A and B are shown apart, each in its own frame.
Chain A
Amino acid sequence: GIQVEQSPPDLILQEGANSTLRCNFSDSVNNLQWFHQNPWGQLINLFYIPSGTKQNGRLSATTVATERYSLLYISSSQTTDSGVYFCAVGALYSGGGADGLTFGKGTHLIIQP
Chain B
Amino acid sequence: EAQVTQNPRYLITVTGKKLTVTCSQNMNHEYMSWYRQDPGLGLRQIYYSMNVEVTDKGDVPEGYKVSRKEKRNFPLILESPSPNQTSLYFCASSFGGNTEAFFGQGTRLTVV
Q: Taking beta carbons and an 8 Å cutoff, which residues of A are in contact with B?
A: 1, 30-31, 33, 35, 41-43, 45, 48, 86, 88, 90, 98-101, 103-106
Contacts and interface: CB of A to CB of B under 8 A. Distances in A.
A11 B112 CA distance: 34
A7 to B, nearest CB: 14
Interface residues of B, number: 26
Q: Which 8 A-B pairs have the closest CB atoms?
A: A90-B98, A48-B100, A31-B98, A99-B97, A103-B43, A43-B103, A98-B58, A100-B45
Contacts of A106: 42
Nearest to B105: A42
Interface in B43-101: 43-45, 48, 50, 56-59, 88, 90, 92, 97-101
A104 B43 CA distance: 8
Interface of B: 33, 35, 40, 42-45, 48, 50, 56-59, 88, 90, 92, 97-103, 105-106, 108
Q: Which secondary structure dominates chain B's binding surface?
A: strand
A44 to B, nearest CB: 9
A98 B35 CA distance: 12
Contacts of B100: 31, 33, 45, 48
A30 B48 contact: no
A100 B88 contact: no
B54 to A, nearest CB: 11
Given A86-B43, A90-B97, A98 B102 contact: no
Contact of A100 (B40, B97, B102): B97
A90 B58 CA distance: 13
Contact of A104 (B42, B44, B59, B102): B42
Contacts of A30: 98
A98 B57 contact: yes
Contacts of B44: 103
A100 B57 CA distance: 11
Contact of B56 (A88, A99, A101): A99
Contacts of A100: 33, 45, 48, 58, 92, 97, 101
